[in-house]
Amino acid sequence: MMAKKEKSDLQPVIIAAVTAIFLMAVFGSIHRILAARLATPVDIPLISPEILEKLPFQMGEWTGTEVPLDEDIVRATDTDAHISRNYSRYNASEQVWLYVAYGTRGRDLMPHRPEVCYTGAGWTLNTRNSMEMLLSDGMKLQCTVFQFSRGTLNKKKLAVLHYYIIDGQYCRDVSLLRSNVWRGSGTVDYIAQVQIVTALRGDLTADSAVKTISAFAVESASSISKLFENAQDVESSDIKNSHTNNIFGVTGND
């Protein structure tokens, strides 16, 4: 019965988030310039989906389960790898959906703004607040928390915590990427978009919902970031070894 309840509680959250998450809106000349500069092909190693699967299913008191996405949705996202999981604690009294999208092409992941994407999918933006949270490793997680609603009689409500990881740095929006482009670098090694979503159900208040997604964000942020740090180290090492082997004429068949 508990499993059925958890599924029924989170299913609208997942459907709403997946529907909204990739409705990209690019406005004005600034975004057009950014997209053009970021469209330049770069020789950057990709992170395999298997590496993202190493994110722990148990993080503190939170226990996770996979939420497979439809293949058509995955293809439409233009991401190189992703994570889609439910996490819950306290006998599923607190539940969140975690979505992490990874890519090396800034034009594909930037800008994915919840205030545009969710409203485009029929949700009303009620509040938006910038937040900064101190993590256990001393880093500061900069993020934005949104609250959305939909409907009238049986109103549905969502709380969404959103942030990017750009080359190992937490960023609540794409200002870091924009800054890199204007400085002339034009490219980044990788971008990861993180969304943590929960539904306001039963007697769960808006404040409680924000506390729930914030608690999970603090618990999970370092583990998510380390996935990309470790992957970049492995990929860089592989490229270096491959380059060295090519120089000395070593092949895998020797």
Residues 93-145 have pLDDT tens digits of 999 999 998 875 555 555 567 887 888 889 999 999 999 999 999 999 999 99
Residue 252 belongs to a domain: no
Q: How confident is the model at residue 49 (pLDDT cuts 50, 70, 90)?
A: confident
Q: Which pLDDT does position 78 carry in this prediction?
A: 63
Strands (E), the chain: 58-59, 62-66, 81-89, 94-103, 124-134, 140-150, 156-166, 169-171, 191-199
Give DSSP secondary structure letters for 29-78. HHHHHHHHHHTS----PPPPHHHHTTS-SEETTEEEEE-PPPHHHHHHHT
**Domain limits at 148?**
2-246
Q: Is the residue at 113 inside a domain? A: yes
184-205 pLDDT tens trace: 445 677 888 899 999 998 778 9
The answer to the question of residue 179 being in a domain is yes
Residue 254 in domain: no
53 φ, ψ to 5°? -65, -10
Evaluate whether residue 253 is within a structural domain.
no
Residue 96 placed within a domain: yes
What pLDDT, on a 0 to 100 scale, did the predictor assign at position 247?
38
What is the C-alpha to C-alpha distance for residues 170 and 140, in angstroms, rounded to an integer? 8
* Band (232; pLDDT cuts 50, 70, 90): low
Q: Are 82 and 50 in contact (CB under 8 A)?
A: no
pTM over 0.75: yes
Strand 62-66 to 81-89 pairing: antiparallel
pLDDT confidence bin for 253, thresholds 50/70/90: very low
In a domain, 184, yes or no: yes
Which one, of 73, 68, 71, 106, lies nearest residue 85 by Cα? 68
What is the distance, to the nearest Å, from the Cα of residue 52 to the centroid of all Cα atoms in its chain?
A: 12
Q: For the chain, first and last CA: distance in Å?
A: 59
The total of structural domains in the chain comes to 1
Residue 251 belongs to some domain of the structure: no
